[in-house]
Amino acid sequence: MTLVIITILMPIIAGAACFTLLHRISSVPRKALTTAIMVLLTIFMLNAYLHENSPPLCFSWITPTGDMCLSFERPSLLLALLSIVFLLFTFLLFQKHERSTRQIGMGLIFFSTAAMLVALFTDHFLLRYIALEITGLTIIFSTVLLDMPLEEKWGHTKNVFLGLKLGDLTLLAAIFLMFAHSGTMDISANFSAALTLPAMEVNVVTGLLLIAIWVKLGLFPLSLWTSSVSKLPKHIRTWFVDFCMPLLGAYLLYRSVPLVGVMHSAAKMVFMFFLVVATAVTQILQKKKNGASSIKDASLQFLSINLVLSAFYLDQKQFWFCLVLWFISRGLLVLIGNKYEIAIAGRQININHIFFMVGGSILLQLFSFYWYLSQTGMQSWQLILIGSIGWWQSFFGIGQLRQRWRAMAADKAAKEHKPWKVFSTVAVGSIVVLGLVWLLTTLLVLHARGDAYLLFSTVPSMRTFPIFTPQFWIACLVGGFCSWLVMWTQRHHVFQTGILLLNKVGKIFRMDEKVARGDPIDISTQTAKAFIKLAKFLYRSIEKDGLTTFMKGLKKVFVFLFDSVEKYISRDMWTNVIRGVLGSSRRLQKAHTGIMRLNLLWLLVVIGAMVVLVIRMNGAGV
């Protein structure tokens, strides 16, 4: 039995065991067993990673698709390994705090893990599609675990199903567009063949792929499914929404990078601009009370946006680096954010530590992105987009500051910290976390790429990496300084006084929404005000009312079609025709009681017409 089979089978067996056996044993051995399975899986993956030459598993499913193979490749294996490690940590994090680690949930997690591994290890497009769909199915089935009334639960199930289905169908369309050209389901061959397609078709394929990726990454406005599973037990939600599905989306993006690169610049601009604006809207309208959770979600969106954006600029090899960084940053963010959410209830952790680590992870990813960006030659249209990104980031920053302010204002304990203590924690926390993560990531990536196994041999190539650039260190200092500034201004009521004064003078900075007194966002300019208005308008008109109005309109059309066309042709018209035919034939019956008794006069007319037709077609001969 090859290692590939074992790696795939293990989570399947574990999942089946969760459904059938594990609920019969008591809590402690059950948790221990579940942990052991995950550790074992990690060991197997690690073993596979170190011994790459494991024979592939091939099987024939249906002839036109060719053989379907599963094999280990370093890039996918590394991502799989990382995801399993994150899963293990997530489980360990929540198993103490989750009131009921329900086995059905663990079973679904294991099944989705198996499907995810298949999706990562196969180079067969159809098999990958099937694996993606099955992963989606496990998420759909997980909605049974939502603790809410049946009807509400079903609403969420529908949202998840339709949300994910949209992504799957666009992916399927993209696959078949490439398949029609390449004649093979081999992913690499398909992408190579797609590059030779006419420009228009390349744009269509890439557009379809990007929509699928968008859905899987859970980016607005195709993030319907993520909000629908937000009330799942934490460990299940974390696995599905934060790790499993986004990883699959990101891996698909990694494979699609060559296509994205040759996309028409106008199409790129549309996609990127829409991505930036749409996400900014969601960030600004973030209404969650919990500051840490809000920052975590916003940061995850931000990371994903950066990843998608980097796909537009980088080649595949460079993008791979960003992908690994993205996933590690994401994992850290999620784990730390979750840890904070658990801790905040018991007041065990200082909020500042969390923010610095979260911020550090963002900086890490951000700077790697800009570093790579700086390696590419800029064109004028790219600068416009960079400008839009910067524009968005400024709002993101304002949003983050605002959240931070609220959290600090609400947290009495945080007020008591000295600002300089905050600053020093920022600097030290960022340096330590970033340094460790960077080192680990670099080694992993270089190892996966097979460039080098020892640190010293990578030093020359690492010279230009972000961690060794002055901008990186400046950014850390600036981050710390900003936090300190916020603390300082809060202590001395700088903004509050200024805002009150400004409001008294012109009332031009008053926001529509109710904000806490002294909220830093009140210092925003007319632009911010206009933007928020625009964002709210977009939200109301497109997301909220717009969708409802559109659906109502659509329903009206459907009902109209049904009432006027379908009902008419299937019932009323039929009744009228029958009545007419029967009436006319009855009248004929009265006139002639012979053959007309059959009441099928019209049938004879049709037959007659057809006979005439036949005679005509045969040159007037029967």
Partner 1 sequence: MSSPEIIKLFVLLIKLIGAVALILFGKRMKKGVRWIALLVSMTSFALFISYLPYLQNGQGTPLRLDYLPAMGIQFSLNIDWLSFPFLLTEELVTILAIVYALDYIAEDEGCHLFYGLLLLFSAGMSGTTLANDIFLFYFFWELMLIASVFLILRWGGKNRNATALKYFILTHLGSLFVLVAFIMVYTQSGLDHFSALWNAFQSTPENLPLIGALFLIGFSVKMAVVPFHIWLPDTHSEAPMPVTIMLAAAMLSMGTYGILRFPMSYFTLEQFTIFSLPMMIVGVISEFYGAIMALVETDIKRIIAYSSVSQMGYILFGLGTMTFAGVVGATLHVIYHAIVKALLFCCVGWIIYVVGIRDIRQMGGLVKRKPLLAACTVIGGLSIAGVPALAIFNSEWMIFSSGFQTPYTLLAILEILGSILTAVYILRFIGGVFFTSGNVGELKVAPLSIQVATVILSIATVLAGLFPKPLFNYVVNEIPMILGGGW
Instruction: State the residues that interact with partner 1 by CB under 8 A.
Output: 60-64, 126, 129-130, 133-134, 137, 149-151, 153-154, 157-158, 161-162, 165-166, 169-170, 172-173, 176-177, 179-180, 201, 204, 208, 555, 558-559, 561-562, 566, 569-571, 574-575, 578, 603, 606-607, 610, 613-614, 617-618, 622
To partner 1, the closest distance from the beta carbon of 607 in angstroms equals 7
Nearer to partner 1, 345 or 622 (CB): 622
Q: Using CA atoms, how far apart are residues 22 and 14, in angstroms rounded to an integer?
A: 9
Nearer to partner 1, 468 or 558 (CB): 558
* 496 closest CA partner among 529, 473, 519: 519
Q: Using CA atoms, how far apart are residues 538 and 532, in angstroms rounded to an integer?
A: 10
3-state secondary structure of 622: coil
To partner 1, the closest distance from the beta carbon of 200 in angstroms equals 10
Nearer to partner 1, 162 or 534 (CB): 162
Element (H, E) at 504: helix 494-505
The number of CA neighbours under 13 Å toward the Cβ of 22 is 24
Q: Using CA atoms, how far apart are residues 411 and 291, in angstroms rounded to an integer?
A: 11
User: What amino acid is encoded at 277 in this protein?
Assistant: V
Pairing of strands 67-70, 57-60: antiparallel
DSSP 517-566: TT-GGGG--HHHHHHHHHHHHHIIIIIIHHHHHHHHHHHHHHHHIIIIII
Q: Using CA atoms, how far apart are residues 32 and 457, in angstroms rounded to an integer?
A: 41
* 240 closest CA partner among 342, 154, 340, 134: 134
To partner 1, the closest distance from the beta carbon of 179 in angstroms equals 6
To partner 1, the closest distance from the beta carbon of 15 in angstroms equals 15
To partner 1, the closest distance from the beta carbon of 242 in angstroms equals 24
Nearer to partner 1, 264 or 556 (CB): 556
Nearer to partner 1, 70 or 385 (CB): 70
Q: Using CA atoms, how far apart are residues 320 and 172, in angstroms rounded to an integer?
A: 24
Count Cβ atoms within 10 A of the Cβ of residue 422 and give its class: 0-12 exposed, 13-18 middle, 19 or more buried.
buried
Other Cβ atoms less than 10 A from the Cβ of 491: the count is 11
Contact between residue 285 and residue 220 where contact means Cβ atoms under 8 Å apart = no
Nearer to partner 1, 201 or 341 (CB): 201
To partner 1, the closest distance from the beta carbon of 107 in angstroms equals 16
To partner 1, the closest distance from the beta carbon of 267 in angstroms equals 16
Other Cβ atoms less than 10 A from the Cβ of 69: the count is 16
Q: Cα 15–19–25 angle (5° rounding)?
A: 105
Nearer to partner 1, 317 or 586 (CB): 586
* 116 closest CA partner among 13, 6, 251: 251
> No. of H helices and E strands in the chain?
26, 2
Q: Please, what's the largest Cα pairwise distance for the chain? A: 111
Nearer to partner 1, 198 or 377 (CB): 198
Nearer to partner 1, 186 or 522 (CB): 186
Alpha helices in 66-195 (DSSP H): 74-95, 103-121, 125-142, 150-182, 187-194
To partner 1, the closest distance from the beta carbon of 68 in angstroms equals 12
Element (H, E) at 214: helix 199-217
* 42 closest CA partner among 84, 90, 87, 83: 84
* 38 closest CA partner among 5, 70, 7, 72: 7
Nearer to partner 1, 176 or 473 (CB): 176
Q: Is the peptide bond before 221 cis (omega within 30 degrees of 0)?
A: yes
To partner 1, the closest distance from the beta carbon of 584 in angstroms equals 15
To partner 1, the closest distance from the beta carbon of 122 in angstroms equals 13
To partner 1, the closest distance from the beta carbon of 417 in angstroms equals 50
To partner 1, the closest distance from the beta carbon of 147 in angstroms equals 15
Nearer to partner 1, 46 or 173 (CB): 173
Nearer to partner 1, 186 or 297 (CB): 186
To partner 1, the closest distance from the beta carbon of 418 in angstroms equals 55
To partner 1, the closest distance from the beta carbon of 268 in angstroms equals 21
Nearer to partner 1, 62 or 591 (CB): 62
Nearer to partner 1, 177 or 354 (CB): 177
To partner 1, the closest distance from the beta carbon of 151 in angstroms equals 5
* 489 closest CA partner among 478, 499, 479: 499
Phi then psi for 618, rounded to 5 degrees?
-95, 25
Q: Phi/psi zone of residue 513: left (φ > 0), alpha (ψ -120 to 50 degrees), beta? A: beta
3-state secondary structure of 222: coil
3-state secondary structure of 183: coil
Nearer to partner 1, 177 or 335 (CB): 177
